[in-house]
Amino acid sequence: MMVLKKLFGAVLFALALTLLAAMMQTPSSAHAESVVERHGRLQVQGNRIVDAHGDPVALHGMSLFWSQWQPQFYNRRAIQWLADDWHVTVVRAAIAVPAGGYLRHPQAQYARAVAAID
């Protein structure tokens, strides 16, 4: 009887560890459904953003710092990190106009926006 209790305890412990390991795994962003795949084309209805079926959508995101002062964040790696770590669904690429921004360096500022968007 004592052997059976120990065996049952060991099996229960192994099952708990397996369940814990399964819960800790998260899907990789490469296999996760994108916001576009999930919602389709977004549109505005009144004061709401809705998906292709007219259902309300909540977007979660942030704004990058002004492009001429923090250009190191205008790249695919930074945007992917925000999507994976912060789970953002939208990012605002804030292109500066004055103070060394678009008025002085239009090509460089445009290139930063493209790098963040693509």
- Tens digits of residue pLDDT in 55-78: 999 999 999 988 888 888 899 999
Percent of the chain with pLDDT over 70: 73
Residue 9 has pLDDT above 80, yes or no: no
| Predicted pLDDT of residue 25 | 54
Structural domain including 103 reads: 59-117
Task: Evaluate whether residue 79 is within a structural domain.
Answer: yes
Q: How many domains does the chain have?
A: 1
Stated as kind and residue range, the H or E segment containing 24 is helix 2-24
| Predicted pLDDT of residue 29 | 47
Task: Evaluate whether residue 105 is within a structural domain.
Answer: yes
| Entry pTM | 0.60
Task: Evaluate whether residue 7 is within a structural domain.
Answer: no
| Predicted pLDDT of residue 21 | 56
Task: Evaluate whether residue 17 is within a structural domain.
Answer: no
